Amino acid sequence: MRTLAHSYPICVAPYLVDSGPGNANLGTKVFYIWGSTCCMCIVFAYFCIPETKGLSLEQVDLLYQNVVPVHSVSYRKRLLVEGTELKEAGGAMAITKDGDIASSEKV
């Protein structure tokens, strides 16, 4: 899939840039297509991909459960300061320093 995604612009770009019959004749205006695509990717990354640098897998799990990606940086800072003992939103589980999951749920 990645090869297809990478080869598509290589095959399409000459038809967008060149002049003549059957070509788009955009010339340097093709930048607006690529630039707008990059801007859309930046917006997508900001709103949909949380920051997970320096977190353990358990902390990443808590991050995905409790926070929307836009607020992930501040929550990540809290996780790093407080360690992995940060309780989940419902208070049903907590992760200890050893990485074990301690459940406080009554059965």
The total domain count for the chain is 2
Q: What is the pLDDT along the chain (107 residues), one digit of tens a residue?
A: 788 878 888 888 888 898 889 899 999 999 999 999 999 999 999 888 888 888 889 888 888 888 888 888 888 888 888 876 555 544 445 555 555 555 544 44
Distance CA 86, CA 83 (A): 7
Same domain, 66 and 96: yes
103: helix, strand or coil: strand
pTM above 0.75, yes or no: no
Same domain, yes or no: 40 and 72:
no
What is the domain extent for residue 16?
2-48
Q: How far apart are CA 89 and CA 65, in angstroms?
A: 8
- Same domain, residue pair 11 and 33: yes
Asked if residue 8 and residue 44 are part of one domain, the reply reads: yes
Are 62 and 88 in a shared domain? yes
